[in-house]
């Protein structure tokens, strides 16, 4: 599968909605948290797979604003796993020149999580290979709301002219400022929805859905998704003929 990929058409930015941990565990007659615990192999494989292909950014939706409504025990277990994973992965990230970054309301995370995240981001900040972006306590509507507040504040203070507000300026006020929009979104577990993820940035992203539950996701699934992406014609509002003749 990997050999079939066009090396000149690898997405710069891949976004992933890692879904299906609970169902994976339940199918095995285990508690939902068992699924979360078994999600790390999939995370590692997708990061490694992306790095091998020269992908620049991979954004992993790990915890949504809405996920705060889950049972308290599940949230606590997820946060604990997060701390552990960050700790465990920093040496590998250093070895592979990987930078860690986050989007979302990181301040709302438990202190211990926040501290580990800050430490790991700082350790890896000079790495120049793949950037792994963890979306934590993130949602598209939250992010856009924060951007609106920031922009309105600047207009109020007189440091921003209302006529200078355009899509580029809005993009610069989002958490993803400086990153290219994802070209490819992968969602596992067969759910066909966006669940409040990167609402602004996904405007022209190619969407790829797979039945595979996240803990079963491996490099070959990533390759399959990229292959499907490479077969799409991205038209950006133009006609197919215009795209073929590059005009």
Residues 51-110 that bind ligand IPE (CB under 6 A): 61-64, 67, 78
Q: How many Å apart are CA 52 and CA 49, to the nearest integer?
A: 5
63, β-bridge pairs: 136
Q: How many Å apart are CA 213 and CA 19, to the nearest integer?
A: 7
Binding footprint of Mg ion on the chain (CB under 5 A): 19
Instruction: Give one DSSP letter per residue of 114-151, joined into a string.
Output: HHHHHHHHHHTTT--SPEEEEEEEE-HHHHHHHHHHHH
Dihedral (C-alpha) 22, 216, 118, 121: value to the nearest 10 degrees? -160
Whether 9 sits among the annotated catalytic residues: the reply is no
Site mask for ligand IPE (CB under 6 A), range 13-42, x = bound: ----xxxxxxx-------------------
Toward ligand IPE, which CB reaches closer, 5 or 144? Answer: 144
Q: Out of Mg ion, ligand IPE, none, which partner does residue 21 contact, by CB within 5 to 8 A per kind?
A: ligand IPE
Minimum Å gap between C-beta 22 and ligand IPE is: 3
Under rule CB under 6 A, how many of the chain's residues touch ligand IPE? 18
Toward ligand IPE, which CB reaches closer, 15 or 100? Answer: 15
* E-only strand ranges, 41-98: 57-64
Whether 163 sits among the annotated catalytic residues: the reply is no
Measured in whole angstroms, the distance separating CA 19 from the mean position of its chain's CA atoms is 12
Minimum Å gap between C-beta 182 and ligand IPE is: 15
Contact positions toward ligand IPE, by CB under 6 A?
A: 17-23, 61-64, 67, 78, 189, 191, 193, 195, 214
Q: Provide the annotated active-site residues.
A: 19, 67
């Amino acid at each position: 599968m990997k050999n079939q990929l066009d090396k000149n058409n690898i997405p710069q930015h891949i976004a992933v909605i890692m879904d299906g941990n609970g169902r994976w565990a339940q199918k095995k007659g285990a508690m939902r948290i068992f699924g979360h615990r078994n999600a790390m192999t999939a995370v590692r494989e997708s990061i490694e797979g992306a790095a091998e292909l020269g992908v620049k950014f991979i954004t992993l939706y790990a915890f949504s604003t809405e996920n705060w409504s889950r049972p308290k025990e599940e949230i606590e277990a997820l946060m604990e796993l997060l701390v552990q994973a960050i700790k465990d992965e920093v040496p590998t990230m250093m070895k592979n020149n990987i930078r860690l970054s986050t989007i979302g309301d990181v301040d709302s995370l438990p202190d211990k999580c926040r501290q580990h995240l800050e430490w790991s981001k700082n350790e890896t900040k000079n790495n120049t290979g793949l950037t792994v972006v963890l979306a934590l306590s993130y949602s598209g509507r939250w992010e856009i709301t924060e951007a609106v507040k920031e922009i309105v504040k600047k207009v109020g203070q007189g440091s921003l002219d209302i006529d200078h507000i355009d899509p580029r300026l809005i993009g610069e006020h989002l958490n993803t400022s400086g990153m290219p929009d994802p070209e490819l979104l992968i969602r596992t577990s067969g759910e066909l929805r966006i669940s409040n993820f990167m609402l602004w940035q996904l405007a022209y992203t190619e969407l790829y859905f797979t039945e595979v539950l996240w803990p079963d996701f491996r490099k070959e699934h990533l390759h399959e998704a990229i292959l499907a992406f490479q077969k799409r014609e991205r038209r950006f509002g133009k006609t197919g003929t215009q795209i073929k003749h590059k005009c």
